[in-house]
Amino acid sequence: MAIEDDVLVIGGGLAGATAALAAADRGAQVRLVSAKQSTLRHASGLIDVLGYAPAGDGPLADPFAALEDLPAGHPYERVGGEAVREALSFFDEIAGDAYEGGHTDANALVPTHGGTVKPTARYPASTADGLASDDRDALLVGFETLPDFDAPLAASHLKAAGAPFEARGVTVRFPGIVRDDAKITRYAHLLDQPETVRTDRGETTAREALAAVVEPHLEGEPRVGFPAVLGDDHADAVRADLGDRLGVDVFEVPMGPPSLPGMRLEDLLYDALAERGVRVTTGVPVVDYETAADGPDGNAPPPIDHVIVDRNGTEIPHRADQYVLATGGLVGKGVESERGRVFEPIFDCHVPHAADRYDWFVDDVFGDQPYAQFGLPVDRDLRPLDADDGLEFPNLRGAGAVLGGYDFAAEKSGAGVSLATGYVAGQRAAEERQ
């Protein structure tokens, strides 16, 4: 017997979670299925709308001013600028005090672990005191056992980038950790508890010991940046405690995957899903589907009747009125390629691409790579289109990186597109359920 819901969301990243939340807020019974653990833990935790225009102009001070000039087919052009604003407001309601940036349309400039500055629309509260637009001097602190964040190098990159403040970087030993392969959650756990660690001065808490290690390196800087490992369950308390002990403002510098801010964002969204009654199942890939016998008017393509989910070798049908596909792009395996074609693997939706595979890329490593924009073309309701611009299925919508027509890496628009298209896809799916 098939499991039945109003809306079935396939994919558990930012786009999928947002779609499920938006549909649930419209009163739909929603289920989210994902082939693997959410990709949010690999994300920076930053919500970027548009950092650079497709032509390369930027960093953009006002991302919304540039939305009007985006080319046809870009996901933002499909949903419209007002939907982007509504999606951000929706996110603000869910995130509460955990994120900042909603007070202005302007992008914030957030330093990252490599010393680059990323334009972003929403950012974790833990990074707020580190914004590059703040002209206060900063001390960046790295740890010997965490080579992913080279604080002296990051500080020098900030200086080269023209940051309006003096930045210094130092590397210290993190109390209680001696191995350089310790998981970032181990750092957070030591500070969260706070656990007792052994130091040259005897046994003390990890927070007290870390403050004691850093304090001699201060030269009057009013703010100190650490890699983003300052607690998980009690991150606000960890930052406040370190700030009080050092007499400075403490902030986190976002890092690459795995990302603690990404994990915190995952927890935030999945707690919201649970509160709204969304049923979530992970580790269950969708492996097939079946359509209804006929389209609604005999001429339109038939709708999806149900999908088949593989649960530990058992094939289970899941039926819904509406479906949202949020499985990611080439990186997330939501779009795949073989020597002669590029395709979407679940529903075999059309992915525009050149017939000659050598036209999928250009020789210039830093050039505009055609493959970066591979994805599903969609109508303004985010329904995938076939090669003749007809609907693939009337009850399927795409959201996030599975969509084509944009280069999220070059534009710094990945999270924003996922949020906006997930929000619109979830809303439309809920509105059109029977």
pLDDT band per the 50, 70, 90 thresholds, residue 293: confident
pLDDT band per the 50, 70, 90 thresholds, residue 182: confident
231 and 194 co-located in one domain = yes
290 and 425 co-located in one domain = yes
pLDDT band per the 50, 70, 90 thresholds, residue 266: very high
Whole-number percent of the chain with pLDDT over 70 = 97
**Could you read off the pLDDT of 62-86 as tens digits, one per residue?**
999 999 899 999 999 999 999 999 9
pLDDT surpassing 60 at residue 306: yes
* CA pair distance 105, 62, nearest whole angstrom: 6
86 and 21 co-located in one domain = yes
pLDDT surpassing 90 at residue 243: yes
Which stretch of DSSP H or E encloses residue 206? Answer: helix 206-214
64 and 135 co-located in one domain = no
Query: Is residue 117, in this structure, part of any structural domain at all?
Result: yes
Single out the residue in 253, 284, 319 at which a domain terminates. Answer: 253
CATH code for the domain in which residue 343 is found: 3.50.50.60
**Could you read off the pLDDT of 316-342 as tens digits, one per residue?**
999 999 999 999 998 888 999 998 899
Which residue's structure tokens are 């707690």?
Answer: 271
236 and 272 co-located in one domain = no
Q: What share of the chain is helix, strand, coil (3-state, %, to 5)?
A: 30, 25, 45
pLDDT surpassing 80 at residue 155: yes
- pTM for this predicted structure: 0.94
Single out the residue in 253, 279, 303 at which a domain terminates. Answer: 253
pLDDT band per the 50, 70, 90 thresholds, residue 419: very high
Average pLDDT, integer, range 419-430: 98
pLDDT surpassing 90 at residue 142: yes
At 407 the pLDDT is 94
At 297 the pLDDT is 65
Query: Is residue 243, in this structure, part of any structural domain at all?
Result: yes
178 and 304 co-located in one domain = no
Buried b (16+ CB within 10 A) or exposed e, 164-198: ebebbbbbeebbbbeeeebebeebbbbbbebeebe
Alpha carbon separation from 141 to 102, 145, 172, 205, 276 (Å, rounded): 28, 12, 7, 19, 40
Query: Is residue 108, in this structure, part of any structural domain at all?
Result: no
At 99 the pLDDT is 97
pLDDT band per the 50, 70, 90 thresholds, residue 312: confident
347 and 366 co-located in one domain = yes
315 and 413 co-located in one domain = yes
Query: Is residue 407, in this structure, part of any structural domain at all?
Result: yes
At 42 the pLDDT is 84
Across 114-118, 314-318, 350-354, least confident range? 114-118
pLDDT surpassing 60 at residue 209: yes
By residue range, what is the domain housing residue 90?
Answer: 3-98+263-431
Single out the residue in 225, 253, 281 at which a domain terminates. Answer: 253
282 and 174 co-located in one domain = no
* CA pair distance 424, 380, nearest whole angstrom: 10
271 and 200 co-located in one domain = no
**Could you read off the pLDDT of 4-51 as tens digits, one per residue?**
999 999 999 999 999 999 999 999 999 999 998 778 888 889 999 999
pLDDT band per the 50, 70, 90 thresholds, residue 298: low
Query: Is residue 17, in this structure, part of any structural domain at all?
Result: yes
At 1 the pLDDT is 57
Please choose, from the candidates 265, 248, 219, 297, the residue with its C-alpha nearest in 3D space to the C-alpha of residue 40: 265
**Could you read off the pLDDT of 375-390 as tens digits, one per residue?**
999 999 999 999 999 9
70 and 160 co-located in one domain = no
Task: List the end-to-end C-alpha distance of the chain, in Å, as a whole number.
Answer: 20
Task: Give the count of domains, the chain.
Answer: 2
CATH code for the domain in which residue 180 is found: 3.40.50.1860
287 and 399 co-located in one domain = yes
